[in-house]
Structure 1
Amino acid sequence: MIDTEALRTQPELTGGHVVLTQLDETYFETAWKALQEPETIRLTGTHTRFTPEQIRTWLAGRTGLDDRADYAIVRKEDRAHVGDLALTDIDKDNRSASFRIALNGPEFFGKGYGTEATRLLLDYAFDVVGLHRVSLEVFDYNPRAQRAYEKAGFVREGLQREALWWDGEWHDVVTMAILKTDPRP
């Protein structure tokens, strides 16, 4: 059974170097800046160009939901907003969800923030919310993310051939998932 109250109240999750806290409109400035960062856009495959008002409205609507969890990733030492991650598309009957993460720019890549945040969210998803399966999609041109997901326990399950058109060429989408019963390093 899914604990929808845990989703609605979304507790703060603390690790050694990052804290996951409710994503909301207070993160507008850094979220907006990240949406202008070319490498973040490429790694997330985002074709849409958002307006500031769209982002403000979306961020304001993140709290109190019982069908997803949206977290800001903040660096523990100074509370700098380094990215965000989410459990989305929660299927209560099958106790499954999709996962996504984006760091706010190259200055935050390769420092372990994403890996630690992913592990914190998976512990919450399986041990608190009651999910059985969490899946994700990652583009073939992002092997660094694929390695990070594997370090967190995700297993490659498949390939969607030529599913993304980016910069004039087709790219594959790798599908990965982790089950509650899988080892979590």
Structure 2
Amino acid sequence: MPDHDFFLRPLTSRDLPKVRELHTKILPVQYPTAFFIQLLVLPTRACFVAYRRSHPTVPIAFISAAIRQPLSSHQCFILGSSEGRPSNKSFLPHLEILTLGVLPPYQKRGLARRLFQRMLDSLRESCPTNFLQGTLVYANVATCNTEALKFYERMGMAISSEVIRNLYRTLSYGSRDGYMVVGVL
């Protein structure tokens, strides 16, 4: 699918019912209405939705994330050093990918990569931190979701945890266990 065949835009209240329905179709975990409302109203949350130009009201993909607020006007989030105090290299903005999904007919066409990059760009636009050292990006992924694990690896992330048992408690079938994937991008 050429780039000009689809477009990305931030979630709006008008999109909410269809994006919630899309989440339900794609993801095995059910999210409450409050999750989607938070994506609209909290300044630390963001959601981008992809649409085909020929069907601009039917979402085909999404990404949602928590953008961590700056601790001051000069930094976004502090990672402690090994001594328990921050070091100059510890000041990295943080981005937690909450959900990411693409309808099967549109997978493997670069849409997830574009959504991921747009979310990363959104953080960089909103945070005054110097980005020369990169951005810490992390997400939870079900252990059985090999496609997602491969995607995050292609994006420069790696599994950074042991198996997190029963991470997906609301999942009614399949593996409830997960990994945390992390990268500095």
Q: TM-score, normalised by structure 1?
A: 0.65
2:47 alignment counterpart: 70
Contact 1:115–1:151 (Cα < 8 Å) also in 2: no
1:172 alignment counterpart: 177
Pick from 130, 133, 138 the counterpart of residue 136 of structure 2. 133
TM-fit CA distance, 1:59: 4.5
TM-fit CA distance, 1:157: 1.4
Classify the secondary structure of the residue corresponding to 2:43. Answer: coil
Q: Does 1:124 align with 2:138?
A: no
Pick from 107, 110, 113 the counterpart of residue 112 of structure 1. 110
Report the Cα distance in structure 1 between the residues aligned to 2:68 and 2:118, rounded to whole angstroms. 18
2:86 alignment counterpart: none
Contact 1:23–1:59 (Cα < 8 Å) also in 2: no
Q: 1:119 to 1:31 in 2, by over 3 A?
A: same
Larger radius of gyration: 2
Q: Which has the higher contact order (CA 8 A, sep 6+)?
A: 1
Report the Cα distance in structure 2 between the residues aligned to 1:16 and 1:153, rounded to whole angstroms. 26
Q: 1:41 to 1:129 in 2, by over 3 A?
A: same
2:11 alignment counterpart: 23
Structure 1 runs not aligned, ≥5 long: 1-14
TM-fit CA distance, 1:68: 2.2
Q: Does 1:41 align with 2:39?
A: no
TM-fit CA distance, 1:149: 1.4
Q: How does 1:153-164 map to 2 (within 5 A)?
A: 153-163=156-166, 164=168
Report the Cα distance in structure 2 between the residues aligned to 1:74 and 1:83, rounded to whole angstroms. 7
**How many residues of Structure 1 are paired with residues of Structure 2 in the alignment?**
154
TM-fit CA distance, 1:161: 2.9
Q: 1:178 to 1:129 in 2, by over 3 A?
A: farther
Q: 1:142 to 1:17 in 2, by over 3 A?
A: farther
2:64 alignment counterpart: 86
Q: 1:77 to 1:150 in 2, by over 3 A?
A: farther
TM-fit CA distance, 1:138: 0.7
Q: Does 1:144 align with 2:147?
A: yes
> Taking every aligned residue pair, what percent have the same amino acid on both sides?
12
Report the Cα distance in structure 2 between the residues aligned to 1:66 and 1:89, rounded to whole angstroms. 8
TM-fit CA distance, 1:104: 5.6
Equivalent AA in structure 2 for residue 27 of structure 1: D
More strand by share: 1
